[in-house]
Structure 1
Amino acid sequence: MAHFDGLFESKAMQKIQEYGGKLQTNKAFSSISSGMMGTMNLILAGAVFTIIATILNIAGVLETTDPVYQWLQLPYKMTMGVMAIAVAFGVAYTYTKNLEMKGEVANGFVALFLFLMVASPVKSVTLADGSTMNALDSSFLGGTGMFTALIMPLIVVRIIKTCQDRNITIKMPDSVPPFLSDSFATLIPLVINIVLWCGINTLVQNTMGTTLPGAVIGVLSIPLSVLISGPGIIVIVFIAMLLWCLGIHGSAVAFAVLIAPHMAAYQANAELVAAGSAPVFSAVFLFSGLACCGGTGNVLPLAVHCMRAKSEQLSAIGKAGVIPAIFNISEPLVFGVPIMYNPLICIPFILNAVITTALLWLGFSVGFFQPPYVMILTALPVFLGEFLGSLAWQNLFIPVVGFVVGYLCYAPFVKMYDKQCLENEAAQAAEMNAE
């Protein structure tokens, strides 16, 4: 580990650590981190039920169409599937506290309501029996709506604070209960926010035919469509991981571009195998390099590093996230560390995915890794997806490459972040003792 110590003490790494520390103390960025970390219990609960369902499916006990399997997946759909709603509330709540404002709960609900308004406006749908009902589209309530859920509450709370600072509020007598007083205090800012966000969303819907979160993903996916090649996929992986670090579901952005050639490549290979021929390589297969060992960002080695960390925060997150990571569920670590807007972890998060993808390209090019021909669209434990997709023993080494690269990339950065977490924990302990 001596080489890691030298890297840790280098001027470049010290600058990164200093910048990361400043970013984490910024009121807006710390609110984003706290808002995500506050959803850890929901994420873990959803992951547990998903793991149980996956194990029973692999063992042949349940089919994906069985009612029991669907019941086990319900907690996932109502936790990680609508995680952006909880994040919108959490970011607004924490940002209100960081700005030393009153009405944290009221502002949290305002941000939650406004996020639902732009991400999932009510639609009237016709059922099979001919009846109609109002429904909310959940397409952008999970990871695909995360960027909007992270940034929108900051703007919402800032508008409320501006109104309060300029006395553009309804003030109630001191005898009125705080929760009721806070609600009236946010009424005028709420109306302003409704007009603003409803106007923006209506404009986006009329011009682009989608909601605000959908427009973000749609716009970002346009320039990626020209990158369907070996080097191009590496660039796409880099952009996807960078977007993840900014709170945008980078995998969804990239897959919006790759889904058509991805399905076509699998279909062509399935037909070749059925005809007795060997499957052929397509560059789109390289996209799995960003999630071959622990889910998005190859976070299984990150979980190992966190388990060995000295800080209570990282140690607890590592222990909680390692089992989901084995099942290629990355959310507990992505939200718990957190990775988004955390430069110390964003760097290896991006770097390991890019290097792994490049090494997979080399492995396919020399004929060691075998092209897949069975499309698997569900999360499976590490090793299982790579093997079942190709039925080739060589592809069992794909997660091994991801683990080794990830372990080396995460090592020095987790050490720096662990030091920061220890300092924060010591400061909090000293503050509590002083009180």
Structure 2
Amino acid sequence: MEKGTFSQWVNQKVLPPIMKFVNTKAVVALKDGMVYALPFIIIGSVFLILSNVPIPAVAAAIKASGWADVFTQAYTTTFGLIAIWAAVGIAYVYVRNENYEALPAGLTSLSVFMLLQFLQIDNPLVAAMGKAGTGITNSAGNVVMTGTRLSANIDKLPDTIQNFLTSPVTGVINVTWLGGQGMIAAILIGLLVGWAYSAMMRAGWKITLPEQVPANVANQFSAMIPAGVILTASMLLYAGFKFFLNTDMLQLIYKILQTPLQGLSDSLGGALIIAFLVSFFWFFGVHGGLIMGAITSGLLIPNTADNAALYHAGQLSLANGAHIVTNEFYNNFINLTGSGITIGLVIFTLFAAKSVQFKSIGKVELVPAIFNINEPFLFGLPLVMNPFLALPFFLTPVIVALSTYAVIAFGIVPPLNGVAAPWTTPAIVSGFFIGGWKMALWQAVTLLISTAVYFPFAKKYDQYLYNQEQEKAAQETSEA
């Protein structure tokens, strides 16, 4: 298939259905609604680092001072509540885009999210009992009664007291579901509440008050019927799960939907597909980062949250269930220095470019590239629809994704720690934040990989541009 024919086929057959999907109300609400969680993820990452400083002496001093618990509290109520931010933000954006008062919908989504889960936690004694139990520890962290001994002593008590001591603690919120483990449920609830709320408002299911009533009061009465219908339906759904399945909706979604999807996103195949598609869409002038970010964020952010929880507990390892592919794997490796990992082109322009066009665009791109922005290259060089640079543009992110997955899988570098460095954080600096000095060093290696892959192709394209410039200069001289 010739280049023009292939491009035409992609533009006519491949991109339209993809763009139609990406621009649906649900995907737009998901993409824009998740943005509201971003400040809490980043701020919470700071508290996560402070509560787990990767310097043993400093970490011990912080723990002894009591500040580790304070930082943990701040982390739990920011990063640890990402499912709440998602549930509220997605419903809010969905209804806002339908041009209705949006905050009541966001709050309704939050109420539904809480309603559909058991408001209880397992009794701490359950995890402490038995051979595999943690036992009882003192304030210094030393075990003062083993799990086996604890079980033996509790078994001596009357059955009524045993049941009381080991029964779930009710009337409390289980923070487990407010973080990464509740993310898919939060997304589904946010979308369904947004859709149902908008549909009822559109159908006129609202209480209309006289014009004399202040707008802020009237808006809340307008929200009462849609919110009431949604909450009543959610209550009946909760009752069905409780009485007939002996579980709640969030647990079921986590087991049958979120766990398999996270496993798929965390696979080598998933990483390679994501890496390829970002550049693939960009090559045809479509924002690959936004498309893949919208599609993958609902799965990769929970992966990040799971790793953050393991890191906070001091158990970050693949053996303990840590994920390789997280949102930071996407932001700080697949898109390092911009989509296509184009730092290799920047280095080429600094040391080897001969053409004026390459040198000029390289100077413009130098500073943005440090902050992972490469639109000057994408549209100015250009990389979009450029057959000279298509292969390295597609290949570099795939090679980096493959090699990064491998070095984590084989234990050469540790899993990403769940810290969310903003996507504009410069390379190597972001690596240190998201995985320590080993990850920073590996990011430096990925920059060298980009340079090695792009260099021969950039040299050929630069020679092509240089020849064109020389021919044009010679023609202008002869005409003069």
Q: TM-score, normalised by structure 2?
A: 0.43
